[in-house]
Structure 1
Amino acid sequence: MRFANVPLRRLLGVLVACTPLTACSFLMDSQEVQCSTDDDCIGYEDNHPFCRNGICVPSGFRPAGCYYGTPSAQAHYLNACSTAQCEPYDNCARLGLCDATKALPPTVGPPDAGSAPSAPDVGPDAGPDAGTDGDAGATEGLDAGTSVGLDAGPGLPKCSNGMESKVIYMTGAADFPPLLQKLQQRILKETWRGVFVDAASCVGVNAAYSRDPAKRKIQNKPAYYYDYPDANKVSCSLDKDGNIVDVGVSDLFPETCSPDKEEGVEVGDYRSAVVAFTIAVSKNSDQESISAEALRLIFGNGGRWPDGREATSPWTDPKYFAIRTSGAASTVLASAMSGVTTPWWGVDAKTTDGLRSALYGVPTEDKDKTVGVLSIDYLEKGLGKENLKPLYLQAPGQLCGYVPNSTRETKDKINVRDGHYPLWGYLHFLVRKPNSPGASAFLEHFTRPNLDQALLEAIIENSIVPLCAMRVSRSKELTAKDPADFSPASGLQCHCFFDSKTSKTSCKPCTEASQCPAETPACNYGYCEKR
């Protein structure tokens, strides 16, 4: 059934009722009243049209065949009806994978896998983590079980100079320092100093869990902090006998790193935010989308079938695949989603900054050949924003591909927040009990029922998502078999505040709960929310 013409007066009434979500370039049945509820519109040639003023109006939902309703299965989250832009990747036409039940060939590491960075080895000896801003100086190839840091230099000031015992020693995921910089300026200020050593997510895990005291210490290497109030990065030297780590930082669940746990020791795992990763290419690339199956063939098989035929054109030459080391959260999570279980094909970019440069610093004729996995803040800022774009990523079992935001031009993270985009990890703060004074001082700001607005703003400005803005949650790392593993998020909400900072919001402003309607009774961060 199609939407047919109706009298002009009737049509104008519907047009007034239409919103940007209900695109109104349509034809309607000629009958005066088509519907009284949305269910009456089932059968019209649109994805779940709405009933507006007795007329069935297109919803603007996509993709075709999307799920409309409250999710009750993992596929419902990935394929929920949405107005966000999406681009499908045709596995049948592009890869020849026309039978979804047919298994892909086993992944096979590159011939030089002995020297190449390997992916999905996420044990305690994993390499450095994927970095974001501030990652360029991270040392490569560190053993997660040893003390970590940069080579010591002469004349560096002590990390504790001027602060005595008011220092919080931290190490782990190298995407954390940009947030630490803002925390120092807006939260810690002059009361505590956050000192960090670039390393890896699994290093941060072992700093809290390991039975080996050496793995819980940073020693013989310089670290750095951000001074207050200028926010300058200051390299500094640790104590001669090293410093016990107060807070380990990881973008991965501790279990992913298989830590060498000490029996009888309790470790607190505090999740603070969500970090998304993108499949990034040159902004000049003609490519628009990619699937998890294509990712597996690219990084797990070099873009070719076992008989040598090209499989994932134009991504068939590993010298154009920009990759990170095996312990990088970007590598671990992309491997988990796509099912790569062997060393990755590609060229080690050494740092996240190097990976970003490798993606855009290619001749025009090679613009379609490059591909890499890049954290979203590196994509949305500076050179990434100017030179790169994310591909629409289609997860296993998904009808269409999505980017983290509703469009490439926005920053609302809507597809991360509602479950359409599964390539993300939690930012974990790991603390060995009993808490040290430094750990307690740090966690005080992240364990409150209501985070300080200044902290919330710092998280949002770093292109990551605070938990209160998430509509979904997960209890373990994603996998190729179950890329979603989502359940509805609970707890205090800040959707309206997040939207006000990244796009716009139609939420009702408030200063106290009495100003909010029954359907959104909580007044959170200046807006009425459900809870």
Structure 2
Amino acid sequence: MRSRTKTLLAITATAAFGVVMLRASRADAAPCTSLGSIPIVFIENGDTQEPLVKLLGQALVKSATPVRIVYKNRRTCDLALDMYTPNKMVNDAIAIRYIPTPAENPAWDPSQPPPTCEADATSGNTIDLGIGATFLSSCTNLPAKPADLSVTAGPVQSYGFIVPKASSQVAMTAEEGYFAYGWADGTGSAQPWTDQALRFSRGPTASTALTCAAAIGLKASQLKGTVPPNNTSTEVLTAVKNSATPEATIGLMGTEVYDQHRGDVKLLAFQGFKQLYAYYPDKTAASFDKQNVRDGHYLPWAPTPYITRVDGSGKAVNPNVQRIIDLVLGDRVDPDVNGLEQVIASGLVPECAMGVQREFDGGNLSLYSPPESCACYFESKVPQSQKTCKVCTTDGECSGGKCRRNVCEAK
């Protein structure tokens, strides 16, 4: 009777987050390696990177030279440890998902959860690529990086603090964040976020916790509040959205997840230490241009590290992994796959559109001039864009600028 009571209590507690902790892999799921003849790239990625994985995965599986992505959401420091050790992708409570072909599921699109498959039951599957979402220097659990492992800085991921739609709050200072998340109930005061049960956070190995904590002067391990049962962005979103006490509720969130749910929650403007004003990551609360991330006004952000094994020439051992990295960085455009468009559509900022840089989570910013700017191209591709770039085929048409991707860039 006692064990049954505990089970019921566990289900009741997790129901508040819209989940029940069950083994994610289904007994009837096929082995991932039996999905067909299309080459597979096994990826572990932070859940903030799942929108890009799905968008790019759909384009790749439909391309003339198809590649299938099989992926598993993992917290940044945990997936990095898997790559450093190395560990295999195995069956556990976190679902392994694959991008279906149009023949397998013609109705599937990236707004839907992909189907699941099973890792090799005996030894698991080699992880070809890890995609984190913050500086790996923030991960305290990593050994020395193996010589054959490469870490490439990918697109920039921004983060923020969300509140329910019914909350009257519109902004938060770093000092308020420090007292709201750095102190337990009754020992810190940052009105109205004083109830620890309504301050939703992520575990200390998640990029969302690492970068948000750095922005408010804390370590991820110092964050107080409520970590949902499965420690996912989706659970935080659900808890904040459905809170019966909206004024006291707050949560941490990657902005590309927020961008897909702007009708459900609000993102607070953020005022960092020594800043005079609070800023949204975008120019306005309604735009998607990440202007204030790109020019240094909005502070909670970090690059996404792409981790893979490389050969003596520095290229990925798996050529399909190199293809993915090159597509994401914009160093390659296939006739039927434009990785940079997928990056922008997922809410990330390509490095070529950034005007600032930093060396570690929470570090000072410095000016950055990308070798080949894509700023105009980026601004013209974000949702609701009103930016018009001059179309070109040669540099001579760009009044001293450069012609890239058939548009004129300032430099």
Aligning the two structures, in what range does the TM-score lie when normalised by the shorter sequence? 0.7 to 0.9
Given candidates 496, 499, 515, the residue that maps to 2:397 is 515
Aligned positions of 1:152-301 closer than 5 A: 152-164=25-37, 166-189=39-62, 191-210=66-85, 213=86, 216-221=87-92, 223-229=96-102, 230=106, 231=108, 233-240=114-121, 241-261=123-143, 265-301=147-183
Distance 1:450 1:244, change over 3 A: closer
Distance 1:157 1:312, change over 3 A: same
Q: How far apart are the structure 2 equivalents of 1:138 and 1:276?
A: 29
Partner in structure 1 of residue 15 of structure 2:
none
Deviation for aligned residue 1:202: 1.1
Which secondary structure does the structure 1 equivalent of 2:33 belong to? coil
Which secondary structure does the structure 2 equivalent of 1:347 belong to? coil
Identity value in percent:
24
Confirm or deny that 1:319 pairs with 2:204: no
Deviations 1:394-440 (A, max 9, x none): 00111111010111111111001111011012121101233332433
- Unaligned regions of 5+ residues in structure 1, if any? 1-135, 141-149
Deviation for aligned residue 1:273: 0.8
Q: Which amino acid aligns with 1:321?
A: R
Distance 1:459 1:235, change over 3 A: same
Q: Which amino acid aligns with 2:338?
A: A
Q: How far apart are the structure 1 equivalents of 2:137 and 2:195?
A: 34
Confirm or deny that 1:399 pairs with 2:283: no
Confirm or deny that 1:361 pairs with 2:242: yes
Confirm or deny that 1:410 pairs with 2:272: no
Q: How far apart are the structure 1 equivalents of 2:238 and 2:356?
A: 33
Deviation for aligned residue 1:151: 4.7
Contact 2:84 2:146 in 1 (8 A): no
Deviation for aligned residue 1:386: 1.3
Larger radius of gyration between Structure 1 and Structure 2 = 1
Contact 1:297 1:312 in 2 (8 A): yes
Distance 1:139 1:465, change over 3 A: farther
Q: How far apart are the structure 2 equivalents of 1:192 and 1:449?
A: 18
Which secondary structure does the structure 2 equivalent of 1:272 belong to? strand
Contact 1:204 1:430 in 2 (8 A): no
Deviation for aligned residue 1:171: 1.0
Contact 1:392 1:401 in 2 (8 A): yes
Deviation for aligned residue 1:322: 1.6
Deviation for aligned residue 1:161: 2.3
Deviation for aligned residue 1:188: 4.6
Confirm or deny that 1:497 pairs with 2:370: no
Which secondary structure does the structure 2 equivalent of 1:237 belong to? coil
Confirm or deny that 1:370 pairs with 2:249: yes
Contact 2:330 2:339 in 1 (8 A): no
Confirm or deny that 1:424 pairs with 2:295: no
Deviations 1:155-205 (A, max 9, x none): 211212244471111113122222111112223535211111221111221
Q: How far apart are the structure 2 equivalents of 1:180 and 1:247?
A: 11
- Unaligned regions of 5+ residues in structure 2, if any? 1-17
Aligned positions of 1:137-152 closer than 5 A: 151-152=24-25
Q: Which amino acid aligns with 2:240?
A: L
Partner in structure 2 of residue 469 of structure 1:
353
Q: Which amino acid aligns with 2:255?
A: I
Confirm or deny that 1:458 pairs with 2:338: no
Contact 2:193 2:250 in 1 (8 A): yes
Contact 1:187 1:454 in 2 (8 A): no
Distance 1:303 1:263, change over 3 A: closer
Q: Which amino acid aligns with 1:202?
A: C
Contact 2:160 2:212 in 1 (8 A): no
Contact 2:61 2:101 in 1 (8 A): no
Partner in structure 2 of residue 335 of structure 1:
213
Q: Which amino acid aligns with 2:257?
A: Y
Contact 1:184 1:228 in 2 (8 A): no
Q: How far apart are the structure 2 equivalents of 1:258 and 1:315?
A: 29
Given candidates 439, 452, 464, the residue that maps to 2:321 is 439
Deviation for aligned residue 1:451: 5.1
Which secondary structure does the structure 2 equivalent of 1:234 belong to? coil
Aligned residue pairs total: 370
Distance 1:477 1:152, change over 3 A: same
Q: Which amino acid aligns with 1:359?
A: V
Q: How far apart are the structure 2 equivalents of 1:264 and 1:375?
A: 29
Which secondary structure does the structure 2 equivalent of 1:396 belong to? coil
Deviation for aligned residue 1:508: 2.6
Deviation for aligned residue 1:357: 1.9
Structure 1 residue ranges, 4+ long, deviating more than 6 angstroms after superposition: 136-140
Q: Which amino acid aligns with 1:372?
A: G
Q: How far apart are the structure 2 equivalents of 1:137 and 1:428?
A: 29
Contact 1:322 1:347 in 2 (8 A): yes
Q: Which amino acid aligns with 2:281?
A: P
Q: How far apart are the structure 2 equivalents of 1:448 and 1:163?
A: 29
Q: How far apart are the structure 2 equivalents of 1:495 and 1:463?
A: 15
Q: How far apart are the structure 2 equivalents of 1:288 and 1:263?
A: 42
Contact 2:157 2:302 in 1 (8 A): yes
Which secondary structure does the structure 1 equivalent of 2:247 belong to? coil
Q: How far apart are the structure 1 equivalents of 2:60 and 2:359?
A: 29
